[in-house]
Each structure stands twice: as structure tokens, then as C-alpha cells.
Chains A and B, each alone.
Chain A
Amino acid sequence: MRSSINRPPTPDANEEPEKEPTLQEIINIKLIESGEKEKLMELLRERLIECGWRDEMKAICRAYARKKGRNNVTVDDLIHVVTPKGRASVPDSVKAELLQRIRSFLTSAAI
């Protein structure tokens, strides 16, 4: 089969010993396993749409695409342009709410 020929070598061939997963990774895995990450993502999406953040970002992207010319823009370009502005303009209330949710999850998951 074509796919099996092209597969990268299996990890066993790799001599390097596997490092301990970092705390960040552990938390991430716990969040995903319990399904909490999905809920948090949905909540975040909802809040950002409600406060108009998504429409703002859309407008910024549109303006950028119009300026550069429709065919000269790539996804990477847009991400580089939009990410700093986006991160800076998330309302504090949204940040606070999500942090609160994550904190309560951590205390309940008892890591």
C-alpha cells in the first residue's frame, strides 16, 4: 500500500529516551480527556463573537487583503498581521472568565 511505504520510521527506531511530559502537557492532556477543553473553546468562541471581537478581526483581515491585493495574500501573512492585534484586543472580562473556569477545573481535577 502506498501509505505504508511512505510512513516515517516508527519511534522505536529512535534511540533518544523519551523525556518526562512537562506540566503544561499534562494539563493539556487532562483538559482534552475530560472534554473540558472543548467546552472552554466553545465558551471562548461565544464570548468573542458576542463582544464583536471576531467581526473586528474579520474587518482587519479584509482591510489587509484589500490593501495587498486579493491574490497576493496568504494565510501565513494574515496570521502574522492579525495575531498581535487579536491578542491585544481580547477584552479583560473574557480573559478573567476563562481563567476562572480553568482554575476551577484544575482544583477539581486535583493534579
Chain B
Amino acid sequence: MSSSSAARAIRLPPPCPHLAAYRSGGGGTPFRSLHRCLRPRPPSRAEVRRDPGEVPFCASCPPAAAHRGLRLYACLSCAAVSCHAHVSDHAALRPGHEIALDVDRAELFCAACRDQVYDPDFDAAVVIALTSLSCSRIPPPPPPPEKCAKRRRVEYRPWVPDPKGRAVIGRRSSPLLVQEGNASSASSTTTTANSTTTTTSSPSSSASSPSSLPRGLRGINNLGNTCFMNSVLQALLHTPLLRNYFLSDRHNRYVCQQKSKKKGGIKEKSNVVERKNPARESHVCLACDLDTMYAAVFSEDRKPFSPANFLYSWWQHASNLASYEQQDAHEFFISMLDGIHEKEQDQCKHQSHVGNGDCCIAHKVFSGILRSDVTCTICGFTSTTYDPCVDISLDLDSSRDAVQIATSKLQTCESDTESMLTSQAYGISTLMGCLEHFTRPEKLGADQKFFCENCRARQESLKQMSIRKIPLVTCFHIKRFEHSLIRNMSRKVDRHLHFPFSLDMGPYLSSSILRARYGNRIFAFDGDDSDASTDLASEFELFAVLTHSGKLEGGHYITYLRLNNQWYKCDDAWVSHVSESIVRASQAYMLFYVQKILYYRASQHVFAS
């Protein structure tokens, strides 16, 4: 079975008849006595020994036999140890003694079926024993606030309009995009007043003729090395949740101005001197400027837009970056989210949980939680920290790792061993490879010894990152710079990164990483819900790609947007329709993925492309 399905949905393999018989025959207590015999082998393995120094061997093998010490199984009913050759004999002699335990791996084996069997209670017992053994002296860390709060997510059910709603839709809607050849949209446009029908043009040109370009596609003028800003703005203008928030007037710039005037009025009363001219509008709010921009960009006007006000507001916010020099797009992105957060935060006083994202729209859309586990290699004690994040910065993994990833990722395509070996010749960097690299257990060097609470000493440790909560919109930032210590300078890495249009983040979630760490046990890790909504929630669709061309000191940013399954290139003021292959070949710097359930791929079947 593929590892992703086993990792996410805990599908129980049906127990073999012998296991079922063993469990029903009062098999509850034997698992508990395991606790005394489980010896953890950090970081994640466990073996079963009666005494710490015990060297088990097969009771039925002659002393010099080769199998005597290999692959031993201990019968769960009578603790007799046999090698894999003799374990069936033991089961045949004594009925009811079929279930045995692999002493080196703590896994169940049915001697009669001669195969591994799985039991959730057993796995739970092993994992609990492992995690409690490793931090025995320290009380378990308090669960993250997410667990205490009610389940935030409601079950996803697609919305269907009631008759009244249907009437409203018919009367007042105009579709965002009219596709040639799409019968349903042609009929729905006839009822609207300001429809944008293009029934005459042929399919090949309808995607590029101005009147049938999707709404919201508008060039942004370069105000002097502001391509970094333009590219990020283009991506944000089409971020589904952000776009919906602003277009549904959730942040009204007039209301916001009034509020700040009131606040300014109160300030004057308390004799705070305003340095600026009081007649001049001193209201600086990035969200208001964004609101203006959304209104301008999603209007009928197709002339390129100049975000001068926004630039001014942003300079007020990030004064250290206020210049006409070239800036980094990622830095601008972070700064902008911070700016929106600052303003919105005044509106709601309490900020219940860090990373919860209820404080402002920017965090609601982009914030997630990263989990970092540091494990002592000597005693297995793990220290866990949770950090909120608004994006995920990935290292471009070296080609060598990519080769190993490429061979292991072959589960996704039908191939046999031979083709696997030939692909070892290719060293392609892929986004999934970078994510694997991000979540791999990393051995911290001898100079970075971590203070282990259990051992009370500095020990060598293993660090592993995973994603505790994925944001609704995930922004991946590819670190395309490397610093050379020899020459003491940084340079840009131009290596091509292959990225998928649909991404499954399941294997990189904390629940999957933990499950894999403890030997793929059937156990509910990290509060994961194994229902359908979780499966859906980890599938993502790409909607914007930010590319950079040039060097570290100077270059140019371009954004590729995916609207209605068509790709559009946004190069400052020039917007054009491009094919998929151009996007795939581009040099990705920032990638924006949105959860699949929030992404509408309208009329994707119309253009076979």
C-alpha cells in the first residue's frame, strides 16, 4: 500500500484469525507487561529484553546453527524464544501460541500465517512505552493550545443554493470568465446587464483577447525597481481567500479612515502634538491601500495600474527599505503581512493562540505552525517546540539527495527496478525533494550539542522539523542563495527546481513524520483526525509562481498566475497568456499553493492544452 495512504488515514489491516482469537481470549493484559521488557533504542527503535544484558537465542536450534541469533520471535503466551525457522514448530505444537513478538523490532508476528500482523492496541502500548520511557523524569510537555480548543474545522460540505438563493444568483450574477464553447456559461450570461460575452471569437484567441481575459488581470507599473513589489502584489491579488476578503468589503477603507480619525481626535484631546499637517490625511494603512488596489484591479479597466499610494504606505511601514533600490520579494512579502497584521490587530483585542491566525486576515490565510523535535541520541528524550510561521523557507537540496529522493519517489509511477537505476543518473531538484530535505532527521554536529534534560548533560542530538498545522495558503520560499565561506560572499543558485501543480502535503505533516519515526505504528499521533476532511485538507493546488532572473544584486521578478487553469505571465505592466510548459521551465523563487477545497478550477476541461 502506498505510504501516503497508510500514513494519513489509519486503515486497519484485518487481523488474521489467530490474532483475533488471541485478542478475544483475554489478550488485553499481556501487552501491558511488555512495558517492563521494552528497551528503547534511541531515537525511535525498541527491542524486547527480559534483562538489560540478555542475549536471546533460539531454544530449538543446535548451538552452532547459523540462525540461532537471527530474527528471533518470543511467543506472547509463554515467552519461549524461537528463530524464524522454528517459530512455526512451536505454534504447531501448542495451539493458542501462534502470536509472537519480534524481539529486535517489537512487532507482532503470526507463526501460523508466517506473516507480520498488526494490532492498534499493541502499537499504542509500544508507542506509549517509548515516549514515556524517554522522558520518564520530566512531566510530559503541555499539549499545544490547539488541542484544548474545540475542533476549529467543520466538516467540509459543498454548498448548494436553495430556490431563493438560486433566484438571486440568476438575477444578479455575472461570471468572472466566459469561455468559448462552454454552453452553461453562455446561457448564464444572457440574463446579466453588463455581460462580457465573446461568442464570435475562436477558442485559440478567446483566451487572449482583452475582453475575455479573466477579471482581476491587470498590469502593474514599475515605479522604479519595484518589480519585487509588483510580483508579490500580483500573487496576493489572486490569493483566493485574500481576494474574497477584500472584494466582499471586509476591510472598508472609508470605515477604516473614520476609525483612525476618531482615534486621532482622541489623541489631540490628550494633547499629543501631530507633527504632520493636521489637514493632511495621516492615515496610513496597508490594508486600505490593498482595498483600493483590489477595487481598481478587479474593475473593467485594463490599463496598467500604478500602486503609488501603496508604495508610500509601505515605505512608512518599512522605513529601512524605503528607497528606489532593488529589494527582495520575500522580504517584502513578510513585511507586507506584518503591516496588515499591525493595523488589523487593533480591531480585535484578544489573541487567543499563537499561530491560530484569528488576529488578522493575513495570518488567517498564511499562518501555520511548525514543529521542531530535538532528540537526544543517547537516551531518546525528545524536546518539542512549536513555532508559528507565515511561509516555509526551503533549502534547494543538492543533486545527490535529489537522486536518492528520486529513487524513493518512484512509488508514484509505474516502474520496475531497472528504470529506477537509470533515473539515478538524473540529479533533478524537486519541490518534494526539498520538503523531504526540510523534514529529514538532521544530526546536529558535535559542536552543537543539545542539553538533554534526561541525561543532564550536553549530548549529540537529532533534529527534525515537521508541519503541525498547514496554512490555508502555503507560500514556499526557495533559498536560492549560498554563502561561500572561502570567498566570504554570497551568490545565487540558478539550479532549476521542478515543482508540481498539485501537491500533497500529507507526508510532511507532524502526524505522518511521527508515525514514520516510531516505525509506522497504527496510532493516532499529534491529534490527527483520520477522517476525510484531513485527507482533503492536505491537498494543495498551485496558483502563483514568482520567478527571479538575474544575479543576487540585481535582477527581475516575474509572476505567473493560474486562473481558470490558464497561465498568465505578469511582467510589471505587461500581462500575457502563456503555456504550461513555460511555467514549468521557469526558475521558481516563491511558490503559492492553496488548499484544494478552496480552489475553483472552473472549465478546466474546455482547454485540452
- Does the CB pair B115–A76 fall under 8 Å? yes
- Rounded to whole Å, the gap between the CB of A30 and the closest CB of chain B is 10
B77 contact set on A, CB distance < 8 A: 3, 6
Interchain CB contact under 8 A, B407 and A52: yes
Contacts of B113 in A (CB 8 A): 74
Query: Which residues from 385 to 438 on chain B have a C-beta closer than 8 Å to any C-beta of chain A?
Result: 403-404, 407-408, 410-411, 416-417, 420, 424
Contacts of A38 in B (CB 8 A): 41
User: A63's contact among B41, B80, B416, by CB below 8 Å, is which?
Assistant: B416
Q: Is the CB of A19 within 8 A of B63?
A: yes
Give Cα A62–Cα B407 distance, bound, in whole angstroms.
12
Contact yes or no, A7 B79, CB < 8 A: yes
Contacting residue for A8 out of B63, B64, B78, CB 8 A: B78
Q: A6-B77, A52-B404, A74-B113 are in contact. Are A59 and B410 (CB under 8 A)?
A: yes
Chain B's closest residue to A8 (CB) is: B80
Mark interface residues in B60-82 (1 if CB within 8 Å of A CB, else 0): 00011000010100000111100
Rounded to whole angstroms, the CA-CA distance of A79 and B116 in the bound complex is 12
Contact of A55 among B69, B78, B408 (CB under 8 A): B408
Q: Bound complex: CA of A52 vs CA of B78, how far in Å? A: 40
User: B283: which A residues are within 8 A, CB to CB?
Assistant: none
Name the residue of chain A whose CB is nearest to the CB of B68.
A25
**By the criterion CB–CB under 8 Å, are B420 and A59 in contact?**
yes
- The reply to whether B63 and A22 form a contact with Cβ atoms under 8 Å apart is yes
Does B608 have its Cβ within 8 Å of any Cβ on chain A? Answer: no
A residues contacting the other copy or chain, number (CB 8 A): 27
> Taking chain B's interface residues, is the majority helix, strand, or loop, or is none over half, making it mixed?
loop
Interface residues of A in 1-18 (CB under 8 A from B): 2-3, 6-8
Residues of A within 8 A of B26 (CB): 2
A6 to B420, CA, bound (A): 50
Q: Is A88 an interface residue (CB 8 A)?
A: no
**CB-CB contacts below 8 Å: B490-546 with A:** none
Which residues on the B side are within 8 Å of A62 (C-beta)? 410-411
- Name B78's contact: one of A6, A19, A59 (CB within 8 Å): A6
Q: A7-B79, A32-B55, A60-B417 are in contact. Are A70 and B64 (CB under 8 A)?
A: no
Q: How far is the CA of A52 from the CA of B115 in the complex (A)?
A: 27
Question: What's the minimum C-beta distance from A13 to chain B, rounded to whole angstroms?
Answer: 13
Q: A43: CB under 8 A from chain B?
A: no
B55 contacts across to A, CB distance below 8 A: 28-29, 32
Task: Say whether B1 contacts A70, CB under 8 Å.
Answer: yes
* With contact pairs A62-B411, A70-B1 given, residues A32 and B53 touching in the complex (Cβ less than 8 Å): yes
Whether the pair B78, A3 counts as a contact (CB closer than 8 A) is: yes
Contacts of B424 in A (CB 8 A): 52
A92 at the B interface (CB under 8 A): no
Residue ID in chain A nearest B405 by CB atoms: A55
In the complex, how many angstroms separate the beta carbon of A28 from the nearest chain B beta carbon? 7
How far does the alpha carbon of A60 sit from the alpha carbon of B410 in the complex, in Å? 11
CB distance from A76 to the nearest CB of B (A): 5
Q: For the complex, what is the distance from the CA of A19 to the CA of B424, rounded to whole Å?
A: 51
Q: Which residues of B contact A55 (CB under 8 A)?
A: 404, 407-408
Flag whether A58 is at the interface (Cβ < 8 A).
yes
- The reply to whether the CB of B551 lies closer than 8 angstroms to some CB of chain A is no
Distance of A75 Cα from B108 Cα, bound (Å)? 11
Bound complex: CA A76 to CA B83 (Å): 13
User: What residues of chain B lie closer than 8 Å to A22, measured between beta carbons?
Assistant: 63-64
Q: Give the nearest-CB partner of B57 in chain A.
A: A25
Question: Which residue of chain B has the shortest Cβ distance to A71 in the bound complex?
Answer: B13
**Number of A-B contacts defined by CB within 8 Å:** 59
Contact B115 A75 (CB under 8 A): yes
Is B84 touching A76 in the complex (CB atoms < 8 A)? Answer: yes
Q: Using Cβ atoms and an 8 Å threshold, which residues of chain A touch B59?
A: 8
**Interchain CA distance A79-B113 in the complex, whole Å:** 15
Contact flags (1/0) for B238-281 with A, using CB distance below 8 Å? 00000000000000000000000000000000000000000000
Q: Which residues of B contact A56 (CB under 8 A)?
A: 407, 420
| Minimum CB–CB distance for B571 against chain A, Å | 41
Residues on the A chain within 8 Å of B69, using CB: 28
Nearest Cβ distance between residue A9 and chain B, in whole angstroms? 11
B227 CB, nearest partner CB in chain A, Å? 41
The digit string for B100-128, where 1 denotes a CB below 8 A from any CB of A, is 00000000010001111000000000000
CB <8 Å contact, A59 and B407:
yes
- Which residues of B sit under 8 angstroms from A63, Cβ to Cβ? 416-417
Q: Which of B20-49 contact A (CB under 8 A)?
A: 26, 30, 41
On chain A, the residues within 8 Å of B417 by CB distance are: 59-60, 63
Bound: A56/B406 CA distance, A: 11
Q: How far is the CA of A100 from the CA of B69 in the complex (A)?
A: 23
CB neighbours (8 Å) of A32 from chain B are: 53, 55
For residue A52, which residues in chain B have a CB less than 8 angstroms away from its CB? 403-404, 407, 424
Complex Cα–Cα for A2 and B26 (A): 10
Chain A 40-79 per-residue mask, 1 if CB under 8 angstroms from chain B, else 0: 0000000000001001101110110000001000111001
Chain B residue contacts of A33, Cβ below 8 A: 53
> Is the Cβ of B78 less than 8 Å from the Cβ of A7?
yes
CB distance from B608 to the nearest CB of A (A): 31
Q: Please, which residues of chain B bring their CB within 8 A of the CB of A58?
A: 408
Question: How many whole Å from A72's CB to the nearest CB in chain B?
Answer: 10
> In the assembled complex, which residues on chain A have CB atoms less than 8 Å from the CB atom of B41?
38
User: Which residues does chain B contribute within 8 Å of A79, judged by CB atoms?
Assistant: 71
**A-chain residues with CB within 8 Å of residue B1 when the two chains form the complex:** 70
Chain A residues near B114: list those with CB within 8 A.
Answer: 74-76
Q: How far is the CB of B13 from chain A (nearest CB, A)?
A: 9
29 cross-chain CB contacts under 8 A: A3-B30, A3-B77, A3-B78, A3-B79, A6-B78, A6-B97, A8-B78, A21-B63, A25-B63, A28-B55, A28-B69, A29-B55, A32-B55, A38-B41, A52-B407, A55-B404, A55-B407, A55-B408, A56-B420, A58-B408, A59-B408, A59-B417, A59-B420, A62-B410, A74-B113, A74-B115, A74-B116, A75-B116, A76-B114
Given contact pairs A8-B78, A28-B55, enumerate 15 new A-B contacts (beta carbons under 8 Å). Answer: A3-B77, A6-B78, A7-B78, A22-B63, A52-B404, A52-B407, A55-B404, A56-B420, A59-B408, A62-B411, A74-B114, A74-B116, A75-B109, A75-B116, A79-B71
Chain A interface (Cβ within 8 Å of chain B)?
2-3, 6-8, 19, 21-22, 25, 28-29, 32-33, 38, 52, 55-56, 58-60, 62-63, 70, 74-76, 79
**Closest 9 A/B residue pairs (Cβ):** A74-B115, A6-B78, A55-B408, A75-B116, A55-B407, A59-B420, A52-B404, A63-B416, A76-B114
